[in-house]
Amino acid sequence: MKFTLGIEEEYQVICPTTRELISHDQQIVTVAEKILNDQVKAEMHQAVVEVGTNICNDITEARKDLTHLRKSISEIANSLGFKIGAAGTHPFTKWETQLITPNPRYDEIVHELQDTARSNLIFGLHVHVGIEDKQMSLHLTNAMRYFLPHLYALSTNSPFWEGRNTGFKSFRSKVFDKFPRTGIPGVFQTVAEYEHYINVLIKTNCIDNPKKIWWDIRMHPFFPTLEVRICDVPMTIEETLSIAALIQALVAKLYKLRTQNLNFMLYHRALINENKWRASRYGLDGSMIDFGKECEVNTKDLMLELLNFVDDVVDELGSRKEIEHVKTMIKNGTGADRQLAVFEETKDLTKVVDYIMEQTILGT
């Protein structure tokens, strides 16, 4: 089994003078398409650029592709008088000032969701792991739900919203929670059960296609992939690659257990949500619940347990370096921790934006 990877990142387009989000009027996308083809696209807000790697056989290929994408988008943005930044929210731009990209699909979403859509000025990381067999993909999706808060805690990178320190390590998910069909999904036992759910939603005009199911993890409606969508976009390439490698390793480990006729315990969405809340509020600094032991455990200790859990599949996947970097992330803090440290030192949110912009191109 190969467990191919695809990584999507959403970047902020920033005015170098004011450090606010700014509409690039699709100029970055227009120029980038000439060299990156369909690896770059516009998003609903005009201050967002999304990139996606090709299908990568391993994390080494993903590193090469993602580095090229960040470097290319940064250089194109600079040449047009913009900067890019990677953080789950912008520290002080108000969503009310931001323009929506003209597009029938976005028009329809805004018409239906109104201010919920207009205020959805957030930036995420989506990681795809290739799984051809749909029933296996569904089984792995069910099992992976337990680990989503752990991955989320590691990615937290949005402590500020509209000029306020929110008190959360990731406020991005609080913004996105206003959308329907988000969050941790429930368990579906069979592909037929899952498809029936989707068909009922389409038949009753809740959605017109399954891409409007925006859960934290899903079987992708059109690609043979399992897609993890819970993470804030990390600030650095190294952080993105480590999180992507950890997601791939978790899928590979759970697959291995399944093929040995062993199953990972499935927990109720309501329980997993308790850990998601803690991850959002405290990042790596708090504790999470170990539902097997029914007690609280320090989140950093849980992360180290998670690394031990996947250890036997890491060398096979060729991702030892990226997985080891998770320990550095635990030690140095997430993007949120570092944003807060800059603000604590400077009391200036423009300096936080400067730091984000500088870290975004680190290693390119």
pLDDT at 106: 87
What tokens appear for 71 in the block?
């470097």
Count of beta carbons in the 10 Å neighbourhood of residue 98: 20
What's the pTM value of the predicted model, to 2 decimals? Answer: 0.97
Name the 3-class secondary structure at 100.
strand
Encode pLDDT of 32-85 as tens digits: 999 999 999 988 999 999 999 999 999 999 999 999 999 999 999 999 999 999
pLDDT at 226: 97
Region class of 163: left (phi > 0), else alpha (psi between -120 and 50), else beta: left
For residue 174, what are the β-bridge partners?
none
Rounded to whole angstroms, how far apart are CA atoms 16 and 81?
8
Residues 20 and 75 sit within 8 Å (Cβ to Cβ): no
Count of beta carbons in the 10 Å neighbourhood of residue 106: 16
Q: Which of 55-59, 105-109, 243-247 shows the lowest mean pLDDT across its residues?
A: 105-109
pLDDT at 12: 98
Which band of pLDDT confidence, cut at 50, 70 and 90, is reported for residue 6? very high
Q: What is the mean pLDDT of the chain?
A: 96
Rounded to whole angstroms, how far apart are CA atoms 253 and 313?
6
Between residues 364 and 254, which one has the greater pLDDT?
254
Place of tokens 């791939």: 248
Q: What is the mean pLDDT of residues 292-320?
A: 97
pLDDT at 103: 87
Q: Which domain holds residue 268?
A: 5-360
Candidates 313, 210, 303, 307; CA nearest to 260 is 313
CATH number at residue 164: 3.30.590.20
Question: What is the number of domains present in the chain?
Answer: 1
Q: What percent of the chain has pLDDT over 70?
A: 100
